Amino acid sequence: MISRRALEIVTAALTGIFGVAVVVSSIDNGIGWSSAGVDAGTFPFLTGTIVVLGSLYNLAQGALGRSTLASVTVAVTRSELGRLAGLFVPAAIFVAAIPILGMYVASAGYVFAVLALPKRQSVLHAIVIAVVTPVALYVVFERLFQVSLPHGALAGALGY
C-alpha cells in the first residue's frame, strides 16, 4: 500500500533530482552573457532552477498533506499495485528483450506470455494472437511503409 503523501514526496523528489541534474549539466555549457550572446547553458539553467524550486514547494506541500485532494490518503492499494506490476514488469522485460530477440520475436513472446501463462486466455487463443501480432507489424511497417524494425542479435546470429 502506498500513501498519497509518499507518492507526492517521491514524485517531487524525482522532479527535483532531474532539476538538479539539469542545473549542474548546464553550468558546464556556460551560463550568462558572452560576446556571442546568451550562453548555451543559460536557458536550461533557468528552467532547471525553476524545476528545483517548484519541486521543493511541491515536496513541502506533499509532506504537509496540503496538495489537491489531500483527503484521499491512500493512493495505491495492494491489489492495485499488483495489477500495475502485472502490466509493467512484463512490458519492461519485453523492452529489455528487444535488442536480443528483435521486435518480432520479442512481441510474439510477450503477447503469448501475458495471455497464456496466467491462463487468461486459452492457449490456442494466445498462440493465434501471438502469431498475428508480429505478422501484422511486419506487413504494416516493413512492407507498406518501409520502416525497418529492430531484428535483434538473434536474427543476426541466424544470418538474416
Partner 1 sequence: MENLESLLHGFTIAVTVPHLALMVVGVLLGILVGVLPGLGAPNGVSLLLPLTFGMQPVSAIILLSSMYWGALFGGSVTSILFNIPGEPSSVATTFDGYPMARDGRPTTALATAFGSAAFGALVGVILITFLASWVAQVALAFGPAEYFAVYFLAFASFVGMGGSAPIKTVVALAIGFAIAAIGIDTVSGSVRLTMGVDELVKGVSFVVAVMGLFGIGELLIAVEEEFQARAVSSKVEWREVFRALGQLPRHSVALLRSAAIGCWMGITPGGPTAASFMSYGIAKRFSRNGHRFGTGEVEGIIAPETADHAAGTSALLPMLSLGIPGSATAAVMMGGLMIWGLNPGPMLFVDQKDFVWGLIASMYVGNIVAVVLVLLTVPVFAALMRIPFVVIAPLIVIICAVGAYSVSNSYLDVVLMLGFGIVGYLFKKLYYPLAPLVLAIVIGDKAEDAFRQSMLMSKGSLGIFFENRLVTSLVVAGMALLLLPLALQILRLWRGPGEAAQEKARII
Given the rule CB under 8 A, which residues bind partner 1?
7-8, 10-11, 14-15, 18-19, 21-22, 25-26, 29, 33, 36-41, 43-44, 47-48, 50-51, 54-55, 57-58, 61, 67-69, 75-76, 80, 83-84, 86-88, 90-92, 94-95, 98-99, 103, 107, 110-111, 114-115, 120-121, 129, 133, 137, 141, 145, 147-150
Question: Do the Cβ atoms of 26 and 47 come closer than 8 Å?
Answer: no
Nearer to partner 1, 33 or 123 (CB): 33
Output the smallest distance, CB 100 to partner 1, in A: 11
**Which residue in 156, 112, 107, 101 sits closest to 135, CA to CA?**
107
Work out the number of other CB atoms within 10 angstroms of the CB of residue 16: 18
At residue 121, what is the residue type?
A: Q
Output the smallest distance, CB 85 to partner 1, in A: 10
